[in-house]
Amino acid sequence: MDYARFLSRTALRRQPSPIRALQPLVSRPGMISLGGGMPNPSLFPFTGISLEVAGGHRLQATAADVREALQYSPTPGLPELVSRLSRMQQGEHAPAAQVSTIVVPGSQDGLAKLFDALLEEGDALLVEEPTYSGSLAYLQGKGCALVGVPTDAGGIDVAALSRVLGSWDSAARGGKRRPRVLYTIPTGSNPTGASQSEARKRELLAVAREFDLLLIEDDPCASERGGTSAARVCTCTRKALGAVVSWRRTVEARPLAPLSRTSPPHPPAPQTTTCSTRPPARAAC
C-alpha cells in the first residue's frame, strides 16, 4: 500500500541527509572519515559503564559498547537496539508487511514527528475525549482542529466515531476535509485509565477500513496490562525507552500502528536486560 497520499507537504519535501547517507561507509572497520565530524573514539572519557538495577542485577557495558554509544550512529538508532526492537514488534504485532523501526529521544519527540508527517496546519484530527494533555500541548501549537470522540469505560466509543465520520460536512466545518487520522491511547488511557478490549479494537479497525482512516496508537502501558483485563489503570515511566514507531498494513486496512512508549514495569531478568516483551496473545490493531 502507498502511504504517500497521507503524508503532509512538509514530509513529502524532506530528503535524506547526504552525511547520513554515508554512515554505512564510515562505519566500516578501519575507516577514518573526516566528512562527518566524527570524534576520535580514543578521546572519549569513558572506557566502560557498570550499572546495578533493582533486584541486584548488574549491567556491564564494555569499552566497545561505550564507543558505539558515544559516537554518531545511523539515523534509525544503534543497529543492535533497532534489531531487538524490530523483533519485539514482530513478535507482538506480526505485521503482514515489512515495517521500519526508529528510536527517538523520547515519547513526545516521536509523537511530534508523527504528527508533523501526517498533518497540515489547520487539519482536523480525531482524538479521544478526554485525551493526553502532553499531546494536546503540541497539537494546539500546530494549529490542528481537534475533533473529540466520546469515550466510555471500554475506551473510544466506536459508534460515535462512525457517526462523526459519516456525517462530516466540510462546508459546515469551515471547509475542513474529513479527518484522516485518529490519535488513540488503547491501554490505560491518560487520564481516564480505560483500556480497549480486543472486540473494541476490531470494531475500531472496521471503521478505519470503511473511512480510510490512519490510526496512531499511543500505547505506553500495554506491557503492564495483565492477561485479558479490559480495563486497568497503570502507572508508567513514559520516556525511559522513547518511542517505537512502525508502519504496517493489515488485510484491507489502512492503519498506522502502533506508537508505543514502553518501559519495563519490573527489573528485567539477567537474560533479558535489553528489552521487554508483551504476551503474544495481545491483539494487534
- Residue indicated by cell numbers 508523527: 114
pLDDT at 241: 30
Contact 214, 254 (CB under 8 A): yes
Residue 232 CA to residue 271 CA, distance in Å, equals 28
The contacts of residue 120 (CB under 8 Å, 6+ apart) are 8, 9
- Phi, psi for 65 (deg, rounded to 5): -60, -45
- Pairing relation of β-strands 214-217 and 181-184? parallel
Q: Given this model, what pLDDT does residue 29 score?
A: 78
Per-residue pLDDT 10s for the chain (285 aa) are 678 889 999 999 998 888 777 777 777 777 777 777 788 888 999 989 999 998 889 999 999 999 988 988 888 899 899 999 999 888 888 888 888 899 998 889 999 999 999 999 999 999 999 999 999 999 989 999 999 999 999 999 999 999 999 999 999 999 999 999 999 999 999 999 999 999 999 999 999 999 999 999 999 888 776 543 333 322 222 222 333 333 222 222 334 444 444 333 333 333 322 223 333 333 333
> CA-CA distance, 72 to 37, in Å (whole number)?
9
Structural domains present in the chain: 4-11+76-272 (3.40.640.10), 38-71 (no CATH)
The letter for the amino acid at 180 is R
Q: Give the pLDDT confidence score for residue 100 in this predicted structure.
A: 87
Residue type at 7 in one-letter notation: L
> What's the CA gap between 19 and 152, in Å, rounded?
49
- Provide the b/e sequence for 159-183 (b: ≥16 CB within 10 Å): eebbebbeebeeeeeeebebbbbbb
Question: For residue 99, what pLDDT is reported?
Answer: 83
* pLDDT score recorded for residue 98: 82
Whether omega before 16 lies within 30 degrees of 0, making that bond cis, reads no
How far, rounded to the nearest angstrom, does the alpha carbon of residue 199 sit from its chain's CA centroid? 22
- Specify the pTM: 0.73
Instruction: Count the neighbouring beta carbons within 10 Å of the beta carbon of residue 187.
Output: 27
Buried b (16+ CB within 10 A) or exposed e, 24-45: eebbeeeeeeeeeebeeeeeee
Cα 237 from Cα 219, distance rounded (Å): 12
Q: Residue 155: in which H helix or E strand, if any?
A: strand 155-156
Considering only CA atoms, which of 125, 211, 141 is closest in space to residue 173? 125
Q: Which residues contact 241 (CB under 8 A, 6 or more apart)?
A: 261, 262, 263, 275
